[in-house]
A and B are shown apart, each in its own frame.
Chain A
Amino acid sequence: DIQMTQSPSTLSASVGDRITITCRANQSISRWLAWYQQKPGEGPKLLIHKASRLQDGVPSRFSGSESGTVFTLTISSLQPDDFATYYCQQYNDYPLTFGQGTRLDI
């Protein structure tokens, strides 16, 4: 199975901050990576696919990038609605696997 490792596990930030979350794959996944946001009691919401493509309707303050097997999610200016847990997911190969999550706290 492809292992996905996210860092940090928890991140404390404030409204207006710029933050970056990292996701590392233990083997090449090309650009087959998605980012999701999850709030308590809800299913994950797709933010980005193919490493850097913003899903329709997602604010432009969210962006993704990749360098080899390291992927980053950046939120340029945190809004109150952004405090949630974020997951990466590789879809290069089965079984599909997720990172362990990054909880973004105020």
Chain B
Amino acid sequence: QVQLAESGAEVTKPGASVKISCKTSGFAFSSYSIHWLRQAPGQRPEWVGWLSALNGKTQFSRHFLGRVAISADAVATTVYLELTGLTSADTAVYFCARQATYSDHYFDSWGRGALVIVSS
């Protein structure tokens, strides 16, 4: 079945960078787009950006521009999120999610999330 699994929890310091992975399985990786979202404690999900595994196109929320990169390893069917210049406001659970169809940007499968804590 469709599965997405983020890498483990990270504890890091202000100003540092973090790179999280999302291992996918159970579907044709190159046919889908994978999104990254995050959710701070007690808050609504916040969209970060997405990557098309079909053509490598990426798009990011303007709230993260200049600090975020999303990449993929098609052989490993894994997508990566890198976020730089971390502050305490970046403390959140980071989710990867599969876009349900080519044209409709909602998510039919999510991972369980990776907790990132930014603290001095």
In the complex, A15→B106 CA distance in Å? 29
Give the residue of B100, B105, B111 whose beta carbon is less than 8 angstroms from that of A43.
B111
By the criterion CB–CB under 8 Å, are A91 and B106 in contact?
Answer: yes
- Interface of chain A: mostly helix, strand, loop or mixed: loop
Interface hit among B11-19, B41-49, B82-90: B41-49
Number of interface residues of B (CB under 8 A): 23
Q: How far is the CB of B61 from chain A (nearest CB, A)?
A: 4
B112, CB-defined interface residue at 8 Å? yes
Chain A contact patch, size range: 20 to 34
Other than the given A94-B61, A98-B44, 11 more pairs (CB < 8 A) read A34-B107, A42-B110, A43-B95, A44-B95, A44-B107, A44-B110, A46-B106, A55-B108, A94-B47, A94-B105, A100-B43
- A residues near B, CB below 8 A? 32, 34, 36, 41-46, 49-50, 55, 87, 89, 91, 94-101
23 inter-chain pairs at a CB distance below 8 angstroms, sorted by A residue, are A32-B104, A41-B112, A42-B110, A43-B95, A43-B111, A43-B112, A44-B110, A46-B109, A49-B106, A50-B104, A55-B108, A87-B44, A87-B45, A89-B106, A94-B105, A95-B47, A95-B61, A95-B62, A96-B47, A97-B47, A98-B46, A99-B44, A100-B44
